[in-house]
Chain A
Amino acid sequence: MDPLVIIRLSEVIDMKKKYIPYTMIAPYFILYIAFGLFPIIFSLAISFTQWDGIGTATFIGLKNYIRTFTQDKFFYQSLGNTTLLLLVNTPIQISVGLLMATLLKDFFKKTRGAFQLINFLPYITTPVAIGIIFQLMFDWKSGVVNGLLNLFGIDSVYWLGNAWASRGVVVIMEIWKGFGYMMIMFLSGLSTIPEELYESSRIDGAKWRHSFAHITIPLLRPIFTFVIVTSVINGFKLFDEPQLLFSSTSQPIGGPDRAVMTVVMRFYETAFNGFEFGYGSALAYCLFIIIAIVSFFLFKFINRESDMA
């Protein structure tokens, strides 16, 4: 018998043996194709059309992309807002998360579990509840934040009516919500650092701050890479919190002067309020391109740093 035929036959027999594992993983791939891959390709296709979601889609080539980059001031404004919020949120979230993780590991060994839970709770709280809580807390007239300011003789601030103040509220919301997640990531990283390193440094006379700077930080590099890259990607996708903070019908979309309108809010508004599915998809793809470019440079930068190290 031809050796090639023998090889093919053995492959078929081999496949037959392996079809159970293939069957077991098939649901994931089928669901991914249906609910992941298909929408991605479909939205790419409709980004080249003018479509209101109801009638027939008309092919218009690159016009939606040209409109995004040449005509849509809201796109640039929302991109600026998103970047600003991202640049402020991410370092603070990471710093607070790292600090909390280190403090819990080193100084709260007995009560660590309880503090971990408390700090992680905001991350799993539903964004709708967070939106309402912050609306009430930062209300101009009856909010507790202004109440506190008044106690110290400071005038009330129209937090949700002033562009910069509302950005501040979104930053506080994001930090409050996200630092617990960062803390968990860093705690998992800290658990992999051998305790002997700290012991020997203590024997050599190193203080806590020295161990933190020369042992903890360098050995947490992989965790830093992960949290920075995911924070930047998630930061560009910011939507829930600013949307819910200004969700009632009497509030402008994106808050005062559209100060907290993010790119995803702009996309959502265009597609689902403005009935411009084609243009909305183009906006989503523009965001995808931006995230891809930023992630690429971020990876390059982090890898260069680790190569140098």
Chain B
Amino acid sequence: MKKRTRVLALAVSSFLTLSAFSGCASKEPVNTSQGGAASSAASAGAPSKINIWCWDKSDSRAQMHSKFTEETGITVELTAVQSKDMTQKLQTTLASDGDMPDIAWLEATFRGKLLSLNIWEDISKAPYNFDKANVLDYLIPLETSEDGQYVGPECPSVAGLAYKRELAKQYLGTDDPKELEKLIPDWDSVIRVGKDVMAKSQGKVFMFSSLGAVGNMLKGQSTDPFIDGDKLNLKTSMKPILERLIELKKSGMVDVLDFDSPEEGASYAGNEHIFYPCANWSVEFTIKSNDKDGKNRWGFMLPPGGPFPWGGTVMGVPQKAVNKEAAVEYIKYFFGSEKGASLQRDFKGNFSPFKPLYANADFYSAKDEYFAGQDVLQAISQDILPNIKGVRLPSKYDQDINDAYNLVIKTINASKDGNVSADDMISKMEDDLVNKQPAITK
């Protein structure tokens, strides 16, 4: 009896200890090839599985992946990681020598920092040989690290302007996109027209919902770097943006909502705001999800100041990934072939970076009932994409700059009638950044 008690005590305590440590166990690598082997698991005929860290685990993505699996034999497992948590999750996994994903999604705001880390494969090199010559030219700098390593492609994320047709007709006299483009070709005309809208609606209808929304457009429409190496360049690059935002704040035509807040989301279904910046992904993820009864309510046009890049998510293959070659197969399929581009278009409404597709004007074409039958896909592929003037190169300080920018946007928004100066805001940003990153100089 005593012996049995001792054995039981030992078993229970061992079980307790071992079960607590079980989370620390790491999986046995399935394929630890460093890239020297010529054939991928898929091409060798062996079933292969890749794990992707992403923030879209929707049914439509699963359906899209099942088509890919049918063709290649590579199964895709998705692990949900929020875009803002990706940096931390990757970093802690690396620090603890945990299991890295085969592909990680690197969102635009965090891309600069993440690309600067020497943890990614250059998939344009052997043995992967992803052909970056077929990638839309403007995207390549956004996908390349500061030391020249090509990390991976992304779907083009470009934006125009969405508007509520009823409000446009009532306050601007037309809901035709071409006429609206003529009415507000630039930001000066926005201010002029906006004042009329404010007067007509007695201040109840706003041109835009938030300063952050307008700020995103203005940032995207300029290409001057915010920082050159470690030296800040805000006076040249950020000051004109802030001056314009302060001018808009003073005019009162921009509502006081916080950008990307639940309240701004709810405003899509309301009747107080006319215009919203609209990237290709906004149609599904923002407009349709926030305005459930919005059929025929929306229109799409070229924005004042021209189209601009907005967002973008690079597909990075970590050096420590287990199934790197299968991961690159996935990337080649979805980002470097017409077949994959068709699936991305049909299941996700995404655009492909695969350059040859854009020679065919009808590849991206679909009448959209939310937009009163307007062909938004074609407008983006034929009017928006070719007119992107340039991009701001990623920097490892992007996240810090974005945070300092959010800080001054708050201040401008909180100010009474825009009673702040752009110079003060620039000083505030500079002080904030120098405090946070001692390597940065003004």
Contact surface of A with B, Cβ cutoff 8 Å: 20, 23-24, 26-27, 30-31, 34, 52-55, 67, 71-74, 132, 135-136, 139-142, 158, 160-162, 248-253, 255-258, 272-275, 277
Contacts and interface: CB of A to CB of B under 8 A. Distances in A.
Contact of B407 (A26, A52, A252): A252
Nearest to A35: B20
A53 B91 contact: yes
Contacts of A30: 17
B406 A252 contact: yes
7 contacts: A23-B9, A72-B435, A74-B435, A139-B258, A251-B406, A256-B410, A272-B88
Interface in B217-267: 255-263, 266
A161 B413 contact: yes
Given A26-B17, A256-B411, 10 more contacts: A23-B13, A54-B94, A135-B262, A136-B263, A141-B255, A142-B263, A161-B258, A257-B407, A257-B410, A273-B88
A130 B262 CA distance: 15
Contacts of B338: none
Contacts of B404: 252
Contacts of A52: 117
A67 B438 contact: yes
Nearest to B116: A275
A274 B94 CA distance: 15
B5 A20 contact: yes
A53 B95 contact: yes
B282 interface: no
A242 B49 CA distance: 40
B6 interface: yes
A275 B91 contact: yes
Given A53-B94, A54-B119, A250-B212, A24 B9 contact: yes
A144 to B, nearest CB: 12
Contact of A250 (B83, B255, B406, B411): B406
Contacts of A249: 83-84, 109, 260, 402
A258 B432 CA distance: 10
B299 to A, nearest CB: 25
B383 interface: no
A305 B5 CA distance: 51
A74 B436 contact: yes
**Among B5, B117, B212, B410, residue most surrounded by chain A Cβ atoms (within 10 Å):** B410
Contacts of B406: 250-252
B199 interface: no
A27 B403 contact: no
A87 B391 CA distance: 48
Interface string B89-104: 0011011000000000
Given A158-B414, A252-B406, A273-B399, A73 B87 contact: no
A55 B117 CA distance: 9
B437 interface: yes
Q: Which interface residue of B21, B95, B261, B400 has the most chain A CB atoms within 10 A?
A: B261
B10 interface: yes
B258 A257 contact: no
B266 A142 contact: yes
B65 to A, nearest CB: 27
Contact of B20 (A31, A141, A248, A273): A31
Interface residues of B, number: 51
A59 B395 CA distance: 27
Contacts of B118: 54-55
B392 interface: no
Contacts of A55: 118
Nearest to A251: B406
A23 B260 contact: no
A248 B263 CA distance: 13
B113 A250 contact: no
B46 interface: no
Interface in B312-332: none
B263 A54 contact: no
Contacts of A74: 435-436
A257 B403 CA distance: 11
Interface in B149-207: none
B91 A272 contact: yes
B261 A248 contact: yes
A52 to B, nearest CB: 8
Contacts of A67: 438
Contacts of B212: 250
Nearest to B20: A31
A289 B91 CA distance: 27
Contacts of B133: none
B184 to A, nearest CB: 24
B44 interface: no
Contact of B95 (A20, A54, A142, A252): A54
B95 A161 contact: no
B2 to A, nearest CB: 9
Given A23-B9, A256-B410, A136 B262 contact: yes
A258 B92 CA distance: 26
A245 to B, nearest CB: 12
Interface in B342-371: none
B407 A258 contact: yes
A142 B270 CA distance: 13
B410 A141 contact: no
Contacts of B266: 142
A27 B20 contact: yes
Interface in B9-46: 9-10, 12-13, 16-17, 20-21
A73 B432 CA distance: 9
B258 A251 contact: yes
Contacts of B399: 273
B257 A141 contact: yes
B46 to A, nearest CB: 31
Nearest to B216: A250
A132 B21 CA distance: 34
A68 to B, nearest CB: 12
Given A53-B94, A54-B94, A54-B117, A252 B410 contact: yes
Contact of B259 (A24, A250, A273): A250
A34 B437 contact: no
Interface string B111-127: 00100011100000000
B240 to A, nearest CB: 21
The 4 A-B residue pairs with the shortest CB-CB distance in the complex, in nearest-first order: A252-B407, A161-B414, A27-B16, A252-B406
B261 A135 contact: yes
Interface string B51-95: 000000000000000000000000000000001100110011011
A23 B119 contact: no
Contact of A24 (B13, B87, B409): B13
Contacts of B88: 272-273
Contacts of B260: 248-250
